[in-house]
Chain A
Amino acid sequence: MPPTHTAQSEGPSGYREAVELEFAEATKRYPGADSPAVDGLSLTVPAGEICVFVGPSGCGKTTAMRMVNRMIDISSGDILVGGRSVKDRDVDELRREIGYVIQQIGLFPHRTIADNIATVPRLLGWDRPKINARVEELLDLIGLPQDMSKRYPAQLSGGQRQRVGVARALAADPPLMLMDEPFGAIDPINRERLQNEFLRLQAEIRKTIVFVTHDIDEAIKMGDRIAILQVGGKLAQYATPSEILLHPANEFVEDFVGADRALKRLALLRVSDIELGPSNGGPSIRDTALVRDALSDLLQHGALHGNVVDSGGRTVGGISMEALARLAKA
C-alpha cells in the first residue's frame, strides 16, 4: 500500500519545490580505519542549486554524497534535507524522494526503458495513466523519441542510457538529486553535450543537486557552488567557481584547480557578460562566445583587439587584450 503522506508531484507539468540540503558536522568513520572517510563536513546547499563535490580519489566525496540517502550511514553529525534529519526518516521512503544517478547507471537490464523510468512512481503507487504520462514527458525532456520506451537498455548507446538514468532519477520529481560522476563513463564529445543538456534541463527544473566528480573542469562548468575535498574527507573550500578560481583558500586548492586558473576563470564568462569598449577593429568575435575562446581567437590572429558582433553581425563593441588581462587578474 502506498504511504499517503509521501509527497507526489502535482502532475506532469508542475515541478515540486526544491529543498535546502545541509551537512552539519557530518562524519563517516569506518571501523579499523586510521582517519575518517568524511571528517566533520559542514555546508549548506541552497534550494535549486548544483553543488559539486570535487577532489582527488580517496577524498570522501562519494562517501559524503552517499550519506545523504543513507546508502552509507552517518557516524556522527547530521544531514538535513529540507530541514529534516535523514536519520529520523524511514530509509526506503527517504530514498524514494531523492533522485539517484551513478556513473555505471545501473539500469535494470531486464526491464524496458519505460519500466526503468517508472520504477519509483510504481513504488509510490501512482496509477497507470499518470505513470505513462510521466514517462512520455520525461522522454521528451531528455530528448529521446517515444518509440524508445519499449526498448531494453542493451539496445541503447551509452549516452542514451545515461539520459535514461537521469530520467529515471527524475521520475517521481524528487526535490533533491544525487549524481555520482554521472558523465564519467562517456566519451569527451558526448560528455560535453550531456553536460550542456543537463544544464539546460536544470535551468528548467531547478532541483537541488549534489554532483560528484574528480574533474575540476566539470566542477567549474556544472557547479553553482563547489566543495573541494582533500584526502581524509576534509573540506578545503566551499565557494562559487569564480571565488575558488580567484581566491583559492589554500595551497591544496590552488594546486587542484591548476596553474591555468586565470584561463578557467575566463571560461566562466561570456563576452556579453563583460563591459565592452569601443570597437578598434580586429577579428570578429560573437558576443555569445566564452571569454576564454575570445582570448584564444585574438592569440590565433596575433591581434590586440577584437570586434564584438551580435547574431545579426552588427558590431556591438570592442574587446582588447588589456581588458582581458585586467579581467583575468581581477
Chain B
Amino acid sequence: MSATFAALGEFGDAISFIFSERENQRGSPVGGSHNLALLWEHLKLSAAAMGLAMAVALPLGLILGHTGRFSFLTISTSNVGRAVPSVALIALFVAFFPRSPEFLNVTLALALLAIPPILTNAYVGVRQTDRDAVDAARGMGLSGAQVIRQVELPLALPLIFGGIKTSTVNVIATATIAPLVGVVTLGDPLVAFSVYGREGQIGASIIVAVLAIAAEIGLSAVQRAVTPEGIKLERGPEGRARSRFGLTKRRIQTAP
C-alpha cells in the first residue's frame, strides 16, 4: 500500500519536473522551460533522420515496387533491419567515424534504422495495388511515370504513410539514447541520473512517451486523410474499422 503512494509521489515529482524549473545538484537550472531545449534537439534529430530516410527510401521503394525487381532483397532488408540493435548501430558510427560530428553520426544511424519500414511499405504498397488496374492503365497508354503517379502512388499512400509512421515512432524512441554519445536530447535526463535526479528521469520519460504517442496518433490521422475515398468504400465499414486499428497495415508480415 505505502509503496503505491510512494509511486504516486514519484510520478508527482516527475510531473512537477516537466513544468517547473529547479536547480540540480551542481547548481545549474533544469526542468520546466529547460526541457524545451532538449525537446527541440530531440525533434531536430528525429526530423533530420526521417528526412534523410524518406529521401532515400520513398523513391527507391516506389521504383522497385513499380518494376517488381529485387523483391527478396527489399523484404529481407526490413527483416535484417529489425535485428540490428539501435545502440549497436549508433556505436558503429561513433567508433568508425570518430572525427565526424556526433549529431551527424546519430542522424545517419537513425536514418538507417528508419529506412527499412519505409522502403518495405512503399514497395509492398505499390506491389499490392490492383494489378488489373495497372494493366488497364498501361493498356490505355499511361506511361511508366504516369502509372506510378496516377495509379500506384495514390493506391499505395495508406501503406506508405504506415511505414513513415512506424519509422517516426521508432526514431523518436531511439533518439532517446543519443545522449550516450553526446547528442543532448530528451534522453539526457534518463541517462544522466546524477544531474537530473529521479524526477528528471521519470519526467523526461513521460515527455518522450507522450511525444511518441502523439506522433502515432497524428500520423494515423494523416494516414486516414490520404487514403482515397474509393479505397475506404472498397474496404467497407468493417475494413475501415480494421484499418483504423492497424489490423491491415501489416498484411505483408502475415505472409509465410
Contacts and interface: CB of A to CB of B under 8 A. Distances in A.
A104 interface: yes
Contacts of B141: 91-97, 120, 123
A295 to B, nearest CB: 41
A317 interface: no
B228 A109 contact: yes
A152 B229 contact: yes
A112 interface: yes
B238 interface: no
Contact of A110 (B132, B135, B143, B231): B231
A98 B141 CA distance: 9
Contact of B230 (A112, A119, A169): A112
Given A111-B230, A153-B230, A154-B234, A102 B136 contact: yes
Given A92-B143, A152-B230, A154-B234, A109 B133 contact: yes
Interface string A196-209: 00000000000000
A209 to B, nearest CB: 15
Contact of A120 (B130, B138, B140, B151): B140
A180 to B, nearest CB: 9
B142 interface: yes
Interface in A126-161: 152-155
Contact of A102 (B135, B142, B143, B150): B135
B231 A109 contact: yes
Contacts of B233: 152, 154-155
B139 interface: yes
**Most chain A C-beta atoms within 10 Å of own C-beta, residue among B139, B143, B231:** B139
A98 B140 CA distance: 7
Interface in A69-94: 69, 71, 91-94
A110 B230 contact: yes
A100 interface: yes
B142 A109 contact: no
Contacts of A119: 137, 140, 142
B128 interface: no
A242 B24 CA distance: 99
B155 interface: yes
A212 to B, nearest CB: 13
A136 B73 CA distance: 47
A30 interface: no
Contacts of A226: none
Interface in B115-147: 130, 132-143, 146
Contacts of B135: 71, 102, 106
Contacts of A97: 141
A245 interface: no
B230 A104 contact: no
A178 B154 CA distance: 27
B133 to A, nearest CB: 5
Interface in A108-123: 108-112, 119-120, 123
Contact of B136 (A96, A100, A155): A100
Interface string A280-300: 000000000000000000000
A106 B142 contact: no
Contacts of B132: 102, 104-106
B213 to A, nearest CB: 30
A107 interface: yes
B165 to A, nearest CB: 20
**Most chain B C-beta atoms within 10 Å of own C-beta, residue among A92, A94, A106:** A106
Contacts of B150: 108
A128 to B, nearest CB: 17
A69 B228 contact: no
Contact of A107 (B133, B139, B154): B133
A153 B233 CA distance: 9
A155 to B, nearest CB: 6
A169 B146 CA distance: 18
A165 B136 CA distance: 9
A123 B142 contact: yes
Interface in B84-136: 130, 132-136
Nearest to A119: B140
Interface string B151-195: 100110000000000000000000000000000000000000000
A154 B140 contact: no
Contacts of B142: 92, 119, 123
Interface of A: 69, 71, 91-98, 100, 102, 104-112, 119-120, 123, 152-155, 165, 168-169, 178
17 contacts: A69-B139, A71-B139, A91-B141, A93-B141, A96-B141, A97-B141, A100-B140, A102-B132, A104-B132, A105-B136, A106-B132, A108-B230, A109-B133, A109-B230, A110-B228, A152-B234, A168-B136
List the 5 closest A-B pairs by CB distance, nearest first.
A106-B136, A110-B228, A95-B141, A152-B230, A100-B139
Interface of B: 130, 132-143, 146, 150-151, 154-155, 228-231, 233-234
Given A109-B133, A110-B229, A152-B233, 5 more contacts: A102-B136, A107-B136, A109-B130, A120-B141, A154-B234
